[in-house]
Amino acid sequence: MNSLFKQSLCVIAFSSLFVGALSCSSDSGQESSTEASILPGALSRIGDADTLTLEGEIVNFQYELRLEDCFNEYRLIDEETGDISDLTTIVDCRRPHDAEIYKEVVHPATAEEPYPGKTELERWSAIKCYEAFKDFVGTDYELSALEIGYIPPVQEDWEIGLYRIITCYVYVPESQLSGSMQGSKI
């Protein structure tokens, strides 16, 4: 996929569909049920401005994504110049979406400490996101159909002290999610 999906663990053990129900209430006060599920087959999210329909609110920076946000990713290609732009949109978790943010962790380094390096930051991010997975999904990562992704701070933002939060998200490659994955046991 694109930039946000670059950082991920690469193990899928078992696949299960349509497991776990989550409750939500509508504006009318009546209870309705939204089942958490995996929707096989990714939608085409590559195109030009004339052919690609974006769903949700566009975020300007990946750091705008927050805990419990669900999001989609798009790749826009300018046919005249060949320029590529990656876009991320926040969408309602009840709608089909590419991923869901489930944990934010602040790196413990002090402001005076130098950037630890991409490899070390990715290692630390993978560990922290793995540790938080079971509490969010309700099952062990190794038994889940979900993958773990993370968004670590980039070196430039780290060095100016702007951003030291690691954002963890769940997704399924080449598929979309429907409903929140919190407690889904998928």
Q: Report which DSSP code applies to 27.
A: T
Q: How far is CA 74 from CA 20, 42, 58, 71, 151, in A?
A: 28, 12, 10, 10, 17
Q: How far is CA 148 from CA 49, 97, 127, 131, in A?
A: 30, 15, 10, 11
Q: Looking at per-residue confidence, does 21 or 112 come out higher? A: 112
Per-residue pLDDT reduced to its tens digit, 47-89: 776 777 788 999 987 889 999 999 999 888 888 888 888 889 9
Q: In this structure, are residues 152 and 122 in contact, taking their beta carbons and an 8 Å threshold?
A: yes
Q: Is position 120 within any domain? A: yes
Per-residue pLDDT reduced to its tens digit, 15-38: 222 223 223 333 333 333 468 888
Domain span at residue 146 reads 3-38+62-71+91-178
